[in-house]
């Protein structure tokens, strides 16, 4: 593992630990500043602009990597797109994402399932875990690809022994069954 990749992963873990120390009521998170803070990808502007702004600054691709930013294209109610950080690679068709402002407005979700449902197995379309139904949502979201915070992917970490029944933790101070939320 090169130093840049190690530093990016260390920053991801450190940011996640810091986010758990701060009281949930202390900050209303949007996806963009959260993804920028956790990944180290220094892009500003709405999520819908990240894919194009990354060109020439960061490597981009269609393979997930821990620490990479998944760039969602705008669709339906999600007019400004969305960005999320890959926190784990489960298989060639499933990753875990850590992101903000998805199931619970302004809150952080850790290690939620995202499944590649694209017909060509290229991560161009995904379904993402949605808190209010405690399952993968029914909406299919278009994905531009992945923005790599350093030199790009050279390996994929596949998790073994993962308990897929584990539910993601919501950083909202409420238990999952009583979290009242909506998705933008």
Q: State pLDDT tens for residues 5-38.
A: 544 554 555 555 444 444 444 578 999 999 999 9
Architecture of the domain whose range is 3-178: Alpha-Beta Complex (3.90)
DSSP per residue, the chain: --HHHHHHHHHHHHHHHHHHHS-GGG----HHHHHHHHH-----S-HHHHHHHHTTTSEEESS--TTPEEEEPPBTTBTT-EEEEEEEEEETTEEEEEEESSSSTT-EEEEEEEEE--TTSSSSEEEEEEGGGTEE-S--EEEEEEEESSS--S--PBP-S--TTPPPEEETSS-GGG------
pLDDT at 151: 47
Task: Point out the residues of the chain with pLDDT beneath 50.
Answer: 1, 3, 6-7, 10, 17-25, 151-184
pTM score of the predicted model: 0.71
């Amino acid at each position: 593992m090169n130093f840049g990749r190690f530093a990016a992963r260390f920053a991801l873990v450190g940011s996640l630990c810091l986010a758990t120390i701060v009281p949930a009521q202390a900050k209303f998170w949007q996806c963009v500043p959260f993804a920028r803070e956790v990944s180290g990808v220094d892009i500003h502007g709405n999520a819908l602009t990240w894919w194009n702004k990354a060109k020439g600054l960061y490597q981009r691709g269609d393979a997930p990597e821990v620490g990479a930013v998944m760039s969602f294209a705008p669709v339906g109610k999600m007019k400004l797109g969305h960005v999320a950080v890959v926190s784990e690679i489960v298989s060639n068709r499933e990753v875990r994402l850590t992101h903000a402002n998805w199931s619970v407005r302004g809150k952080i979700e850790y290690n939620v399932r995202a499944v590649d449902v694209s017909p060509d197995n290229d991560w161009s379309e995904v379904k993402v875990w949605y808190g209010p139904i405690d399952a993968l949502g029914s909406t299919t979201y278009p994905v531009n690809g992945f923005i790599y915070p350093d030199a790009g992917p050279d390996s994929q970490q596949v998790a073994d022994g993962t308990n897929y029944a584990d539910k993601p933790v919501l950083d909202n101070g409420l238990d999952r069954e009583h979290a009242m939320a909506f998705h933008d």
